[in-house]
Amino acid sequence: MSGSIYDRLQKALDVQKQEEGISAGDIAQLPPALRKIMRMMLREIDMSHVAICEAMEAMPAADRLDRPTLEQALETLTQQNWLIRRGEGERTNYTVNLRRKAGSSLGQTFWSALDAKIAENKKTENL
């Protein structure tokens, strides 16, 4: 057996995070170039590579990323599972990989309490 239980747990959490995608709160922790692309992508959710390049060129010069920086940023965001890349070359599309929202436990609590109350009333009626 290799690695400690903590190492295995961290690896499992890292895999789970990759599968779940990202949350909007995570974006604030990104470097500026990556954050700029993710903010742009969140407006559209799905964009072609060509559309991303056109949108970047339409930005004010101070906000614009040059082509090599843009390409590297898209590659990094894809590797880190922030974006999902589909297709190749000019037909490449990118989609934001949003994290699933955790389900509410309020409904479960409500229905459990209601079931318990009904069972209690039935028990009282049968006595």
We report the CATH number of the domain holding residue 31 as: 1.10.10.10
Contact 46, 95 (CB under 8 A): yes
Q: What is the mean pLDDT of the chain?
A: 79
Whole-angstrom distance, CA of residue 100 vs CA of residue 52: 25
Longest pairwise C-alpha distance within the chain: 81
Structure tokens at 27: 């974006």
Range 2-9 average pLDDT: 66
Has residue 116 been placed in a domain?
no
Has residue 108 been placed in a domain?
no
Contact 32, 47 (CB under 8 A): no
Position 124 pLDDT exceeds 90: no
The pTM of the whole model exceeds 0.75:
no
Whole-angstrom distance, CA of residue 72 vs CA of residue 76: 6
Q: Tell me how many domains the chain contains.
A: 1
Lowest mean pLDDT among 14-18, 50-54, 99-103, 113-117: 99-103
pLDDT above 70 covers a percentage of the chain that reads 70
Has residue 16 been placed in a domain?
no
